Structure 1
Amino acid sequence: MGFKIIDIAPDNIDALSTTQNQAGALAALAADGNIDLIGPGDVLAIEIYEVGVTLFGGRANIGVAGTMLENDLSMSASSETVGGSGVVVDRNGNISLPYAGTLSVAGLTTSQVQDRIVAALRGKSQSPQVIVSLRRNISNAVVVMGDVTNPGRMPLTLARERLLDAIAERGGMNRMVQTGSSTATGTGAQDVIVRFTRRGRVAEQALDSIVAGSVDDLVLLSGDRIELIRQPRTFTVFGALDRVAQVPFESRTLTLAEALARAGGPNDNRADPKAVFIFRMVPATDLMAQGIPASTTDIAYPVAYRINMMEAENYFLSQRFTMRDKDLIYIGNASANQPLKLVQALGQLFAPVLSVQNATR
């Protein structure tokens, strides 16, 4: 396997104290686009105003009540909202209106639809005026799903919402992510990944690495999909300690000293403080950054980092060594513990006999 054992020392601690920076992953998906274009499924509210003889609705007098204009002619106007519950844009992007026929509106703004309706009614109605508004926004929306409080579709507005705005609008992380249901489920944003899908491209980034208003806090476009995924980072401890355990990070960064303390530390009676190992699959590029040659750069090598906790300076180094997700800590047994283990085994073997003898007496 090409297994390597590397001692943690002052000359390589700088390379071992770096953190994996995920910032900038979402910025690669930044793009421009409109969020006010009409599409299939949208519901439009259309009001048509007419003067004189009208095609829609009844008459409504304009002017001072009870007065007549010159030549005994009254100037009149009327308005009508077409479709009581709105006009739905069909799957082909069309709408149908009385006297105007079928109009293609997909990819247009509401003001452009107004102009198209006025043009269709010209010559059939006297000075028609049209107001079109979006009653239900379907095409200009994003979907927020996963570990959020209220997953679902969120319509976009001309305020130009961003990624963090959408997460907050849907209630943020759900309660289970914030509190955790066990010791390895995660306790907050540091254990949540944002999976962002735009136009067939996907990027992932830790939620707590996204700063409001930054390039990673993307301006949303219609069709975007945001998924929050709970992905707790953990390390595992084995060897001469009180119990084998999988321990969550519970923070963005975690040092070796903090990890050992969180795991309960070595057992004073059994552990060899000179034999503390951290097992990790290390990319070849990281090894070369530490001055260690690698045969190829496209694989990861199994490495055991070793630290001697009997030397005082190594306690300072352990405060700088940065743990990574799925690291494995092994604390070796002291060679002097072998006789102790034999005595304990004999004690377990003969303890029942002695108990019977004492009871008989």
Structure 2
Amino acid sequence: MPRVAPARLAAALLGALALAGCNLLPAAGPYSAELRNPRTQDADGVGYKLVPVTANVVRVLAQEEAEGLIGTFRNDRKPIPDVKIGIGDVVSVTLFEASSGGLFIPEEAASRDGNFVTLPDQQVDSSGDISVPYAGQVKAAGLRPEQVQNAIVAHLNNRAIEPQAVVTVKDQRSSTVTVLGEVGTPVKFPLTSSGERVLDAISRAGATPSKDYDMFVTLQRGGRDATISFRRLVREPANNIYLQPNDTLYIYARARTYLAFGASGKQGQFAFNDDTVSLSEAIGQAEGLNDGQADPQSVFLFRLEGRETLRRMGVDVSDTTEERVPTIYTVNYREPTGFLLTTKLPMHNKDVVYAANAGSVEITKFLNLVLLGATTAESMAHTDTYLYGPN
């Protein structure tokens, strides 16, 4: 058997180690230098955005989080719904005349109580009209009852004796709100002119959240939608807005979680324990940063962020048309402001927090491998001496 030169073997091991560089060393994730290197950011075609956490970034994210229902629907013209007659509604029409002998009150009916007649209930037809004797087809859809009353009187003025009309909606089928999801009884109910708010609708459906911070309410209106936690809806009366015709409320429960990797005290999946959790609270729940391992200047938050949100931060998003952009926020906990800023940075469901190792940790790993190579070479040298004798 040929003898192996221990010195040559040790040199080969060290050479291989040097050529492999950091990639040969064990690690829980990417090195901070790789994340910050623009040449490696799009190596796999992901095209993520690297965003340092600043006061402006936190302001934009906090503002987006605070919008809620009132933020999305603040431009709606009227807070209390303007309930109008619609196609399919059932209405009742009562006609009055000043004296008997007119179109609706015959002479022989003069002794009865009141000079009026109530027409049979009728449904607003597909053209939006109702039918009134001697007035013909009268437009009703899109109008308030008093407007329909005035239209009927205008049609009858030259024929009846000082006519008056009262229009009443008996069954409102067009201006309704629907409540679906995890509720006691899904319900569809008509709005009234006094106005119903979001919590009024939820109480009608019998929603009974077990963990109100995991219960969410989505309001869909006119092609737009907004979601808010049940706890926040109760806590912030401004978000308990008036409902509008054809609104849909969807109530659902969702256990939100985030992941923590790298040099944090604990790694794994963690559940939100409140309706809002900040990045600093999330790191605290993962038992903070490992004092003997973490680089406090290299804490990263991974998320798919909204394109418009990034644009408001001043991030260049002209190179992508995606609505959700892969984003890595970087935090420097070496600076006191890092702690202050992240108390206001809200976490999202499925976020990933990653704390990179300090450079000294990587040096230690490298030296340990060097020591292992040297020890292996020395052991082989002793083995050679035992088998073949000294040179």
Question: TM-score if structure 2 supplies the norm length?
Answer: 0.56
Match status 1:20 vs 2:66 = no
User: Deviations 1:165-189 (Å, cap 9, x if unpaired)?
Assistant: 133333189656x324xxxxxx428
Match status 1:206 vs 2:228 = yes
Which residues of structure 1 form unaligned runs of 5+?
Answer: 63-75, 181-186, 340-361
Aligned length: 299
1:81 alignment partner, one of 108, 113, 118: 118
Which residues of structure 2 form unaligned runs of 5+?
Answer: 1-29, 38-51, 369-391
Show the counterpart of 2:26.
none
Judge conservation of contact 2:301–2:328 (CA < 8 Å) in 1: yes
Q: Spell out the pairing of 1:1-361 with structure 2 (5 A cutoff).
A: 4-5=35-36, 14=55, 17-18=58-59, 19-22=61-64, 23=67, 25-27=71-73, 29-31=75-77, 35-50=82-97, 51-53=99-101, 55=104, 59=109, 61=111, 77-83=114-120, 86-121=121-156, 125-146=160-181, 151-159=186-194, 161=195, 165-171=197-203, 175=207, 178-180=209-211, 187-188=212-213, 192=216, 194-198=218-222, 201-206=223-228, 208=232, 211-213=236-238, 220-228=243-251, 233-238=256-261, 244-248=268-272, 250-256=274-280, 258-263=281-286, 272-274=293-295, 277-281=299-303, 298=320, 300=325, 302-303=327-328, 305=330, 316=339, 320=343, 322-325=345-348, 326-330=350-354
For the structure 1 residues 137 and 288, does the alpha-carbon distance in structure 2 shift closer, same or farther, using more than 3 Å as the test? closer
For residues 111 and 78 of structure 1, the distance between their equivalents in structure 2, rounded to whole angstroms, comes to 20
Given residue 118 of structure 2, which amino acid in structure 1 is its aligned partner?
T
Query: Residue 284 of structure 2 aligns to a residue in which SS?
Result: helix
Judge conservation of contact 2:82–2:193 (CA < 8 Å) in 1: yes
For the structure 1 residues 327 and 174, does the alpha-carbon distance in structure 2 shift closer, same or farther, using more than 3 Å as the test? farther
RMSD (Å) for aligned C-alpha atoms: 5.0
Q: Higher helix share goes to which structure?
A: 2
Q: Higher strand share goes to which structure?
A: 1
For the structure 1 residues 243 and 4, does the alpha-carbon distance in structure 2 shift closer, same or farther, using more than 3 Å as the test? closer
User: Deviations 1:306-350 (Å, cap 9, x if unpaired)?
Assistant: 667xx79699569647353132134678788999xxxxxxxxxxx
Question: TM-score if structure 1 supplies the norm length?
Answer: 0.60
For residues 309 and 275 of structure 2, the distance between their equivalents in structure 1, rounded to whole angstroms, comes to 23
How far does residue 236 in structure 1 lie from its aligned partner after superposition? 0.9
Judge conservation of contact 2:310–2:317 (CA < 8 Å) in 1: no
For residues 145 and 86 of structure 2, the distance between their equivalents in structure 1, rounded to whole angstroms, comes to 11
Given residue 61 of structure 1, which amino acid in structure 2 is its aligned partner?
S
Judge conservation of contact 2:198–2:240 (CA < 8 Å) in 1: no
For the structure 1 residues 3 and 225, does the alpha-carbon distance in structure 2 shift closer, same or farther, using more than 3 Å as the test? farther
Judge conservation of contact 1:288–1:294 (CA < 8 Å) in 2: yes
For the structure 1 residues 246 and 277, does the alpha-carbon distance in structure 2 shift closer, same or farther, using more than 3 Å as the test? same
Judge conservation of contact 2:181–2:250 (CA < 8 Å) in 1: yes
Given residue 238 of structure 1, which amino acid in structure 2 is its aligned partner?
F
User: Deviations 1:269-300 (Å, cap 9, x if unpaired)?
Assistant: xx834477434148699999999x97967584
Query: Residue 149 of structure 2 aligns to a residue in which SS?
Result: helix
Q: Percent of aligned positions with the same letter in both sequences?
A: 20
Query: Residue 170 of structure 1 aligns to a residue in which SS?
Result: helix
